[in-house]
Chain A
Amino acid sequence: MIELRDIEKRYDGRLAVGPLDIAVSSGGITALIGPSGCGKSTLLRIVAGIIRPDAGAVLFDGEPFDPDSSNADTFRHRMGYVIQEGGLFPHLTARRNIDLLARHLKRPADDIADRLETLRGLTDFPRDGLDRYPDELSGGQRQRVALMRALMLDPDVLLLDEPLGALDPVIRYDLQEELRSIFRSLDKTVLLVTHDIAEAGFFSNDIVLLNNGMVAQRGSLRDLVENSANDFVRKFVTASRTIDSALEGIVQC
Chain B
Amino acid sequence: MNRTRILALLSLLACGKGAAPPQDHIALPPGAQLKPFDPTKPGEARPLYTAQLGGRVYVTLSNARAQGNFVVTAGPGFLGGIDPFAGTVDLIDLGGSDEHQCTNPGVVRADAGKLYVACSGDFSGTTPGRGVFEVDPATKAVSRGLVTPEGIVPSGVAVTAGKIWLGDSITPQLVSIDRTTFTAADGADAGHPAIPVPCPSTGQFPFVPYVGIVNGDLYALCATTEAGVLGRFDAQTGAAKGSVAVGAQPTEFAATGDGRIAVVNSNENTLTLVTPGAQLSAQLALTFSSSTSTLQDVKARGNLLYTVASGSNTVQKIDLAAAGGPKVVAEANTGTGSNPFNLEALDDDTVVVVNYATSDVVSRSLKTVQ
Tell me whether A and B are bound partners. Answer: no
